[in-house]
Chains A and B, each alone.
Chain A
Amino acid sequence: MTILTNKADKIDRLAELTQSSEAVTGTSLWREAFRRMRSSKMAIIGAVIIGAFVLIAVVGPMVAPHGATAQNWRSEVFPNQGKFVGMRGENWFGLDHLGRDMFSRWLVGARQTLLVGVVSMLIGLIVGALVGVLSGAAATLGGKAGQRVDTVIMRFTDIMLSLPSLLLAVSIAAVLGQSLTTVMIAVGVVQIPIFARLLRGSMLVQGGADYVLAAKSVGIRRKRIVLTQILPNSLSPVIVQATLSLATAIIEAAALSYLGLGNPDPAVPEWGVMLSQAQRFFDNEPMMAAYPAIGIIITALGFTLLGEAMREALDPKLRG
């Protein structure tokens, strides 16, 4: 038996064999989630689609070959007689009913669509998160009075949630008139109760966690408990929802535009508006509807994929 072999040798050999288990140090959960996202196929596909979309939205209008309003080929299309011009070297996506270059309009439309999606999501996220934080903080640490505040806020969001979202958006748009801002506000407002409820619910769950009790027992003030303990841990579902709601926002904005509530300015077409204009000529030139529709479907898919991948990456149960 070699009990008395060199102690240093023993320790070296042991260190060598156990090396692998001591690799991770100081990786926060956010960073870890990001690392998991990078190895997820879903996240990569989603990110590629969104990246391409953002690139098109930013660069597209600048490189658009013909401008959105130029009716350069007015004389070549006769929509009333069903005569259209399809794809050709000069006009990649063909011409629309007014003889405008569809590819250029599609590129400009991408930017409008992204703008509508992002702004309306932000309206929903910011207002909703503020309401949610208020409600969640009141419910978890506000005592009896706080619980009343929470109840009132939540009943109000319940009422908002109980209205069909498109109906709510249409009524808002009807009051504010026809414009891009209208669409953004209408779509954003619909998202407010969703974000508020989600954040509040998440805060309630976290508020009951042991570490919040521990923070309280250490003597940390309530406001700080909400800000440093409860809130950071309640955010992941909200982030996921924000990504997913970009997809729904784009679709809802398109729906509103399709119903004729979108921006009437022909210089800044939005995919929804383009879709709505295309419906009259659907029999003769279905491609006029297909390009914006495909754009909407693919970007919505991209945001959904990314959102789902985030949900998985942020799920504490799947960690390990």
Chain B
Amino acid sequence: MSLLSVEELSVTFTARGRKDATAVDGVSFEVDQGQVVGLVGESGCGKSVTSLALMGLLPRKAARIGGRAEFDGQNLLTMNERKLRDLRGSQLAMIFQDPLSSLNPVVPIGIQVTEILQRHRGLKGEKARKEAASLLDRVGIPDPDRRLKEYPHQLSGGMRQRALIAMAVACAPRLLIADEPTTALDVTIQAQILELLKELVDEEGTALLMITHDLGVVAGLCDEVNVLYAGRAVESAGRRELFAHPTHPYAHGLLGSIPRLDAPRGEPLNPIRGSINDKIAWADGCAFAPRCDHYTMECLTGTPELTEPRAAGHQVRCVNPVLPTAEVPA
């Protein structure tokens, strides 16, 4: 049985005087122990909302959450606040995109780290401080004893993200959720952080749910990849399978539109037309149809089902997928 199994998760935001907005529309995936699973998609695809829903961090009043998310046999979505709080930090931890706003600006790093050690591991005083220092050391923060006394604004972006990772792994969580952990960072710093995450997963056997818009990051890190579009997974497969044979027109188009460092100069890009605003409701058909080069009449008559048109375990939500034999109209 997998560590985390999400089934038909849906999140609808309701606000008075506004139309209900469905951010996540039936997302299912699984994460096994020691596995890195990627949720990849562009802005508005529902990837971040998914992670917040799993962590129980969405406002209960404004968000209607449906489906199941079983972590170690317990449904996270219906768990009471207190139990969830115990779980968060000890077994479940999260890293956010903006490390500055996820750290308390008026409390030194050291106290923020030792607080977690105290709450979840019962460490106190000198023992907690020592453990905190070794955690910072573990994530590559030089001179940890001095850093423990500093405030978040005194650290650079990369250091802050490391501090946040240190806090996240303080209690050796079984699942780490990383929401765009490197988006705010420079490439060379991103490489450091990704390498660090990779190492943590390898050494500690932590499962990692990686949420990102960057297919390059996914290619280097994830075992399983779920491509999200407009709140639904449109393609799920192992990393090699997905990148070798992108089958949903969206995933296919996305890969064809990214300039690659290793592509020769002047190789044309094939952009996807339109923008994310050009979509139809999943209930009416495929949300991607308005931007799709080979949508059919069938695409406009109800939600397409997940099928496995190419290989076992390679799921695609499309009635007219990109297959080797299929003609791709220009």
What is A's interface to B at a CB cutoff of 8 Å?
Answer: 1-3, 5, 9-10, 13-14, 17-18, 21, 39
Q: Are A5 and B17 in contact (CB under 8 A)?
A: no
A2-B296, A18-B278 known; 13 other A-B pairs, CB under 8 Å?
Answer: A1-B298, A1-B319, A2-B298, A3-B296, A9-B297, A17-B280, A17-B285, A17-B290, A17-B300, A18-B279, A18-B280, A21-B277, A39-B17
Q: Are A21 and B278 in contact (CB under 8 A)?
A: yes
Contacts of B295 in A (CB 8 A): 10, 14
Contacts of B178 in A (CB 8 A): none
Q: Are B290 and A14 in contact (CB under 8 A)?
A: yes
Q: Does B284 sit at the interface, judged by CB under 8 A?
A: yes
Contacts of B300 in A (CB 8 A): 10, 13-14, 17
Count of interface residues, chain B, beta-carbon cutoff 8 Å: 18
* Assembled-state Cα–Cα distance A300/B296 (Å): 62
Q: Does B294 sit at the interface, judged by CB under 8 A?
A: yes
Q: Which of B231-285 contact A (CB under 8 A)?
A: 277-281, 284-285
Contacts of A14 in B (CB 8 A): 280, 289-290, 295, 300
* Assembled-state Cα–Cα distance A297/B194 (Å): 61
Q: Are A10 and B296 in contact (CB under 8 A)?
A: yes
* Assembled-state Cα–Cα distance A39/B18 (Å): 11
* Assembled-state Cα–Cα distance A18/B281 (Å): 9
Q: Are A13 and B297 in contact (CB under 8 A)?
A: yes
* Assembled-state Cα–Cα distance A259/B84 (Å): 61
Contacts of A18 in B (CB 8 A): 278-280, 290
Q: Does B97 sit at the interface, judged by CB under 8 A?
A: no
Q: Are A1 and B280 in contact (CB under 8 A)?
A: no
21 contacts between A and B (CB under 8 A): A1-B320, A2-B296, A2-B297, A2-B298, A3-B294, A3-B320, A5-B296, A5-B297, A10-B295, A10-B297, A13-B297, A13-B300, A14-B289, A14-B290, A14-B295, A14-B300, A17-B285, A17-B289, A17-B290, A18-B279, A21-B279
Complex interface bits, B308-330 against A, C-beta within 8 A gives 1, otherwise 0:
00000000000110000000000
* Assembled-state Cα–Cα distance A89/B280 (Å): 66
Contacts of B294 in A (CB 8 A): 3
* Assembled-state Cα–Cα distance A13/B298 (Å): 11
With both chains docked as a complex, state the minimum distance between the C-beta of B274 and any C-beta of chain A, in angstroms.
10
Interface of B is mostly: loop
* Assembled-state Cα–Cα distance A21/B281 (Å): 11
Contacts of A1 in B (CB 8 A): 296, 298, 319-320
Contacts of A39 in B (CB 8 A): 17
Q: Which of B17, B285, B295, B297 has the most CB of A within 10 A?
A: B297
Q: Which of B285-311 contact A (CB under 8 A)?
A: 285, 289-290, 294-298, 300
What is B's interface to A at a CB cutoff of 8 Å?
Answer: 17, 277-281, 284-285, 289-290, 294-298, 300, 319-320
Contacts of A13 in B (CB 8 A): 297, 300
* Assembled-state Cα–Cα distance A153/B295 (Å): 64
Residue of B nearest to A5 (CB): B297
Residue of B nearest to A21 (CB): B277
* Assembled-state Cα–Cα distance A39/B16 (Å): 11
* Assembled-state Cα–Cα distance A48/B319 (Å): 56
6 closest residue pairs by CB, A with B: A17-B280, A5-B297, A13-B300, A2-B297, A3-B296, A17-B284
Contacts of B289 in A (CB 8 A): 14, 17
* Assembled-state Cα–Cα distance A21/B290 (Å): 12
With both chains docked as a complex, state the minimum distance between the C-beta of A262 and any C-beta of chain B, in angstroms.
44
With both chains docked as a complex, state the minimum distance between the C-beta of A32 and any C-beta of chain B, in angstroms.
15
Q: Which of A5, A10, A39 has the most CB of B within 10 A?
A: A10
Contacts of B298 in A (CB 8 A): 1-2
With both chains docked as a complex, state the minimum distance between the C-beta of A134 and any C-beta of chain B, in angstroms.
35
Q: Which of A1, A9, A10, A14 has the most CB of B within 10 A?
A: A14
With both chains docked as a complex, state the minimum distance between the C-beta of A3 and any C-beta of chain B, in angstroms.
5
Contacts of B280 in A (CB 8 A): 14, 17-18
* Assembled-state Cα–Cα distance A18/B285 (Å): 11
Contacts of A10 in B (CB 8 A): 295-297, 300
Contacts of A17 in B (CB 8 A): 280-281, 284-285, 289-290, 300
* Assembled-state Cα–Cα distance A21/B296 (Å): 21
Residue of B nearest to A19 (CB): B280
Q: Which of A1, A3, A5, A10 has the most CB of B within 10 A?
A: A3
* Assembled-state Cα–Cα distance A39/B320 (Å): 44
With both chains docked as a complex, state the minimum distance between the C-beta of B326 and any C-beta of chain A, in angstroms.
9
* Assembled-state Cα–Cα distance A18/B300 (Å): 11
With both chains docked as a complex, state the minimum distance between the C-beta of B297 and any C-beta of chain A, in angstroms.
4
Contacts of A9 in B (CB 8 A): 297
* Assembled-state Cα–Cα distance A9/B279 (Å): 18
With both chains docked as a complex, state the minimum distance between the C-beta of A213 and any C-beta of chain B, in angstroms.
23
With both chains docked as a complex, state the minimum distance between the C-beta of B61 and any C-beta of chain A, in angstroms.
18
* Assembled-state Cα–Cα distance A3/B290 (Å): 15
Residue of B nearest to A10 (CB): B297
* Assembled-state Cα–Cα distance A14/B296 (Å): 10
With both chains docked as a complex, state the minimum distance between the C-beta of A91 and any C-beta of chain B, in angstroms.
45
* Assembled-state Cα–Cα distance A14/B220 (Å): 37
Contacts of A5 in B (CB 8 A): 296-297
With both chains docked as a complex, state the minimum distance between the C-beta of A186 and any C-beta of chain B, in angstroms.
42
With both chains docked as a complex, state the minimum distance between the C-beta of A7 and any C-beta of chain B, in angstroms.
10
Contacts of A2 in B (CB 8 A): 296-298
Residue of A nearest to B17 (CB): A39
Residue of B nearest to A12 (CB): B300
Contacts of B279 in A (CB 8 A): 18, 21
Q: Which of B278, B279, B280, B284 has the most CB of A within 10 A?
A: B280
With both chains docked as a complex, state the minimum distance between the C-beta of B154 and any C-beta of chain A, in angstroms.
25
Contacts of B17 in A (CB 8 A): 39
